[in-house]
Amino acid sequence: MRKMRVAIVESSTIIAEGVASLIGRSGEFEVVYTGGDMRQFAERFAVVEPDLVVVGSQAVGGVTLRTMYPELQDAALVVLSTTVCDEDVMRQFDGVVNIYDNQAQVVRKLRAAIEQSDTNPYSDSHDLSERERDVLILVAKGMANKEIAEALNISIHTVMSHRKNITHKTGIKSVAGLTVYALLNNLLDQNDVNL
Amino acid sequence: MNSYKIDGNNRIVYSKDMKLIELIDTDYELLSILLRLDIQLPFGDVSVEEMCRRYDMSPTLFLMICQVYANADFEPDVESLDVADLQHIIRYLRASHRYYMESMLPSIAAGVERVLEGCDAKQNAILRKFYNDYAEEVKAHLNYEETVIFPYVEQLAAGGKREVAMADFMADHTDICDKVDDIKSIIIKYLPESCTTQVRCGLLFDLFRMRDDLSKHTLVELKLLTPVAIAAERRLQR
């Protein structure tokens, strides 16, 4: 089974490294990103492609993260609770990890969060993510993978992985078929493509 | 009494002694093979062998084609076919093309028109373009076979060809089934509600049948036509 990709956004290096080492040891998760700034992380999201994001409570800053950073809809979201937080803010998370939890508890909570979140790669969420939509639009405009990678500043590998997901979710393989999908869903204007 | 045998897997063993009606009972989709070969009903209780004699066909080849259609795992014993069978394979494939052009595609085009009536002008234009492009692609594919591959094989069968081209032809063979699946997904998942389920399903049944038929048709080309033609090329090279 492939490992779950985890990103950690926590401004305390000590805590971030601690969590990374704790969950890295489980063999079930792979920490693919650690950083302290939410905005910086959101910009890197499509490249990092995490299945799960662990966010330090101080990095949340009282906002609804998925509204502010729509990219995050593609991953399960777990908060790392170091201080007492506002309940309304906590509701947006798929799980809560406390810094006093032991390794088994943390692993169990992360596992449950991925299962609960419908962004689980094995689930059947058929709505395209923001990033997939970006890629789809460029595909429909007739751009090649390499051009799309340059336009969105992501790797060709990432473009291909998005295209695979798009086809899996829509059931449509051909560029012509994807163009029809984009037009029917008003992601594109007819003038944008050579009809 | 039945005139066929059952094998160890409880499957009917196709034989030239079986009655045509029994053959159809094994898989009613085989009727479409009779239809495209212009075999006229009623056929009473004639056997496969008798029917093939009347229509100047090799019963061995006819049964192989039927089995490619009816059984996904069927591996024909191409050793039992020879150069003389090539023209009969081509005859079948040409008849099959005619069936697509004159019966299947027009029926699907009519179904697409009915679906489009339920869509607004913008959607109408998008879908019509997609379908027309696809239909052109299918026609070009069939036309290439008719004007390049089939004449080549016919000359091969007549002993008048010394080149080796069959493997290259088949390597260039394009897939014309993928887009049928795309149309299917669009009709089931994404067309607006204004288009009725009855109209959609009418078209979907036609599309599924065409997709399955095209894939069987491709198998006849890959499992029967290609190996027999390549064997003929080898013989002529010697």
pLDDT per residue as tens digits for the range A171-195: 999 999 999 999 888 888 777 776 5
pLDDT per residue as tens digits for the range A77-99: 898 887 666 676 777 888 888 88
From CA A154, how far away is CA A138, in angstroms rounded?
Answer: 13
Kindly report the nearest CA distance between residue B230 and chain A, in angstroms.
Answer: 32
Instruction: Please indicate, yes or no, whether residues B42 and B116 belong to a single structural domain of this protein.
Output: no
Instruction: Please indicate, yes or no, whether residues B18 and B49 belong to a single structural domain of this protein.
Output: yes
* Residue B161 token pair: 């060809």
Contact (CB<8Å) A190/B125: yes
Instruction: Please indicate, yes or no, whether residues B39 and B145 belong to a single structural domain of this protein.
Output: no
* Residue B48 token pair: 């496969």
Kindly report the nearest CA distance between residue B128 and chain A, in angstroms.
Answer: 10
Average pLDDT over chain A reads 84
Per-residue pLDDT, A32: 92
Kindly report the nearest CA distance between residue A110 and chain B, in angstroms.
Answer: 33
- Which among B44, B74, B104 is the end of a domain? B74
Smallest CA-to-CA distance from A45 within A75, A15, A24 is with A75
Smallest CA-to-CA distance from A111 within A69, A136, A78, A147 is with A78
Domain enclosing residue B118, as ranges: 81-237
Instruction: State ipTM.
Output: 0.78
The residue written with tokens 């009915």 in the block is: B114
Does residue A51 carry a pLDDT above 50? yes
Long-range contacts of B2-9 (CB under 8 A, 24+ apart): B3/B47
Per-residue pLDDT, A85: 66
- Please state which architecture CATH assigns to domain A130-192: Orthogonal Bundle (1.10)
The residue written with tokens 């997709």 in the block is: B211
Instruction: Please indicate, yes or no, whether residues B107 and B217 belong to a single structural domain of this protein.
Output: yes
Instruction: Please indicate, yes or no, whether residues B38 and B125 belong to a single structural domain of this protein.
Output: no
β-strand partners of A4: A29
Amino acid at A172: I
Judged by DSSP in three states, B5 sits in strand
> CA of A173: which chain B residue's CA is closest?
B182
Which chain A residues have a beta carbon less than 8 Å from that of B190?
170, 181, 184-185
> CA of B188: which chain A residue's CA is closest?
A171
Q: Are strands A52-56 and A76-81 parallel, antiparallel or unpaired?
A: parallel
Q: Are strands A52-56 and B5-6 parallel, antiparallel or unpaired?
A: unpaired
Neighbours of B77 (CB within 10 A): 8
From CA A23, how far away is CA A8, in angstroms rounded?
Answer: 11
Instruction: Please indicate, yes or no, whether residues B67 and B90 belong to a single structural domain of this protein.
Output: no
The residue written with tokens 């939509």 in the block is: A133
DSSP B19: B
Per-residue pLDDT, A124: 41
The residue written with tokens 């049948």 in the block is: B209
Contact (CB<8Å) A180/B186: yes
pLDDT per residue as tens digits for the range A94-140: 888 888 888 888 888 888 888 776 544 443 445 788 889 999 999 99
Instruction: Please indicate, yes or no, whether residues B103 and B165 belong to a single structural domain of this protein.
Output: yes
The CA distances from residue A97 to A3, A56, A76, A119, in Å, are 20, 10, 13, 19
Tell me phi and psi for residue A80, to 5 degrees: -100, 105
Instruction: Please indicate, yes or no, whether residues B55 and B169 belong to a single structural domain of this protein.
Output: no
Contact (CB<8Å) A174/B179: yes
Instruction: Calculate mean pLDDT across residues A38-65.
Output: 85
DSSP A27: S
Q: What is the pTM of this model?
A: 0.66
Judged by DSSP in three states, B175 sits in coil
Contact (CB<8Å) B127/A180: yes
Q: Are strands A29-35 and A52-56 parallel, antiparallel or unpaired?
A: unpaired
The dihedral region occupied by B187, where left means phi > 0, alpha psi between -120 and 50, and beta the remainder, is: alpha
Per-residue pLDDT, A84: 65
From CA B223, how far away is CA A174, in angstroms rounded?
Answer: 27
pLDDT per residue as tens digits for the range A133-145: 999 999 999 999 9
Residues on B contacting A at a C-beta cutoff of 8 Å:
122-123, 125-127, 129-130, 133-134, 178-179, 181-186, 189-192
Does residue A16 carry a pLDDT above 60? yes
- The H or E element spanning position A76 is strand A76-81
Instruction: Please indicate, yes or no, whether residues B50 and B148 belong to a single structural domain of this protein.
Output: no
Kindly report the nearest CA distance between residue B34 and chain A, in angstroms.
Answer: 33
Which chain A residues have a beta carbon less than 8 Å from that of B134?
176
Instruction: Please indicate, yes or no, whether residues B69 and B85 belong to a single structural domain of this protein.
Output: no
- The residue ranges of chain B whose pLDDT is under 70 are 1, 161
- Which among B74, B97, B112 is the end of a domain? B74
From CA B20, how far away is CA A104, in angstroms rounded?
Answer: 68
Contact (CB<8Å) B186/A195: no
> In terms of C-beta density within 10 A (0-12 exposed, 13-18 middle, 19 or more buried), how is residue A25 classed?
exposed
Give the angle subtended at the CA of A138 by the CAs of A133 and A139, to the nearest 5°: 95
The dotted CATH code for A4-116 is 3.40.50.2300
- Which among B74, B103, B118 is the end of a domain? B74
Instruction: Please indicate, yes or no, whether residues B151 and B224 belong to a single structural domain of this protein.
Output: yes
Number of domains in chain B: 2
Map out the domains of chain A as residue ranges: 4-116, 130-192
Smallest CA-to-CA distance from B153 within B221, B101, B215, B59 is with B221
Per-residue pLDDT, B102: 93
CB A92 within 8 Å of CB A77: yes
Per-residue pLDDT, A122: 40
Instruction: Please indicate, yes or no, whether residues B108 and B54 belong to a single structural domain of this protein.
Output: no
Judged by DSSP in three states, A171 sits in coil
